[in-house]
């Protein structure tokens, strides 16, 4: 288990889906209050998510206070305020030579793929279904989401590329991923279990400098802080480098079994995990906030 730091962190990084928000449910009222308490105390609140800005806005409300959004697993960094999306501070995408190799390798794997555009169009993508292997339910769900913009791939060879997404059953996915990593080892490879809970494994392939952890580190440095000043919350493999980077790290007790011994455990999404962490690190902050804002207790 990662050693618990003794400082009270000014930087708070958290994943969204599966960490704060359950698949079929909402962020707990206690966690909404916790975010407000951290902000009032001077903490910097950052969501680091695989969602694009557009798909994050689908489930965001003004009650969910934060200061920055790391979206598309590190492709973009955006200021956030009471009205939502603010200034875009950073956008990253594939270099043409890396994109060409990634596209070619994806075509050879025959497990189906999505070629996602860079922000601000990260919700749009080309896709191709596998021809010889079963189509995972989560792949079909991703294509059919009403707020995405899928385009059937017709052989396009030159287009802006932000992310390659591959979806298959775990054994097949790991086999194909090993081939991909051997062909293009300099890219950033991130595994995650399917957010649709269909048992499939997702492989997200990004430009070399892109990940949640790298984006968090760049933001921390720009604010004058380091890893020792940060706490991070996550629930899956795609949060791993963020959790490893942060001085204090927590993982959902419903996360992958092999990750649970590596970090401190916290309640699952929807069960006030952020409040749990806040009570461990800043024990009086939540209660003191409610004393100053008793109306907030009505929602919690």
User: Do 113 and 64 belong together in one domain?
Assistant: no
Total of domains in the chain: 2
Pick from 206, 230, 264: which residue ends a domain? 206
User: Do 88 and 232 belong together in one domain?
Assistant: yes
Pick from 206, 229, 245: which residue ends a domain? 206
**Structural domain that includes position 237:** 11-92+211-298
Q: What Å distances lie between residue 293 and 37, 44, 117, 290, CA to CA? A: 10, 20, 43, 5
Q: Are 3 and 222 in contact (CB under 8 A)?
A: no
Considering the entire predicted model, what is its pTM? 0.90
Determine the Cα–Cα distance for residues 23 and 17; give it in Å rounded to an integer: 7
Residue 6 within any structural domain of the chain: no
User: Do 188 and 176 belong together in one domain?
Assistant: yes
**Per-residue pLDDT reduced to its tens digit, 230-276:** 999 999 999 999 999 999 999 999 999 999 999 999 999 999 999 99
User: Do 106 and 194 belong together in one domain?
Assistant: yes
Pick from 153, 174, 206: which residue ends a domain? 206
- Give the CATH number for residue 195: 3.30.1240.10
**Per-residue pLDDT reduced to its tens digit, 159-192:** 999 999 999 999 999 999 999 999 999 999 999 8
Determine the Cα–Cα distance for residues 34 and 272; give it in Å rounded to an integer: 9
Cis peptide before 248 (omega within 30 of 0): no
Residue 4 within any structural domain of the chain: no
The CB-based long-range contact list for 135-138 (8 Å cut-off, 24+ gap) reads 136/167, 136/168, 136/169, 136/194, 136/198, 136/200, 137/196, 137/198, 137/200, 138/167, 138/194, 138/195, 138/196, 138/198, 138/200, 138/202
Residue 25 within any structural domain of the chain: yes
């Amino acid at each position: 288990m990662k050693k618990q730091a003794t400082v009270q962190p000014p930087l708070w990084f958290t994943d969204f889906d599966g960490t704060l928000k359950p698949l079929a449910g909402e962020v707990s009222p206690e966690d909404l209050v916790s975010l407000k308490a951290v902000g009032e105390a001077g903490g910097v609140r950052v969501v680091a998510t695989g969602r694009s800005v557009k798909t994050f806005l689908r489930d965001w409300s003004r009650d969910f206070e934060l200061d920055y959004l790391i979206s598309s697993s590190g492709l973009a960094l955006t200021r956030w305020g009471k009205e939502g999306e603010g200034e875009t501070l950073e956008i990253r995408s594939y270099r043409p030579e890396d994109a060409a190799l990634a596209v070619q390798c994806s075509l050879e794997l025959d497990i189906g793929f999505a070629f996602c555009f860079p922000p601000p169009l990260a919700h749009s993508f080309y896709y191709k279904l596998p021809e010889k292997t079963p189509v995972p339910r989560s792949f079909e769900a991703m294509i059919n989401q009403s707020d995405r913009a899928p385009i059937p791939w017709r052989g396009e060879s030159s287009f802006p590329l932000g992310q390659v997404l591959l979806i298959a059953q775990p054994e097949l996915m790991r086999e194909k991923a090993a081939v991909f990593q051997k062909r293009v080892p300099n890219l950033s490879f991130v595994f995650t279990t399917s957010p649709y809970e269909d048992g499939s494994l997702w492989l997200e392939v990004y430009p070399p400098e892109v990940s949640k952890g790298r984006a968090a580190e760049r933001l921390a440095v720009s604010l004058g802080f380091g890893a020792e000043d940060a706490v991070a919350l996550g629930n899956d493999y795609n949060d791993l480098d963020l959790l490893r980077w942060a001085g204090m790290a927590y993982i959902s007790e419903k996360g992958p079994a092999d990750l649970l011994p590596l970090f401190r455990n916290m309640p699952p999404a929807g069960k006030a995990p952020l409040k749990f962490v806040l009570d461990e690190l800043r024990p009086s902050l939540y209660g003191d906030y409610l004393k100053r804002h008793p109306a907030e207790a009505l929602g919690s």
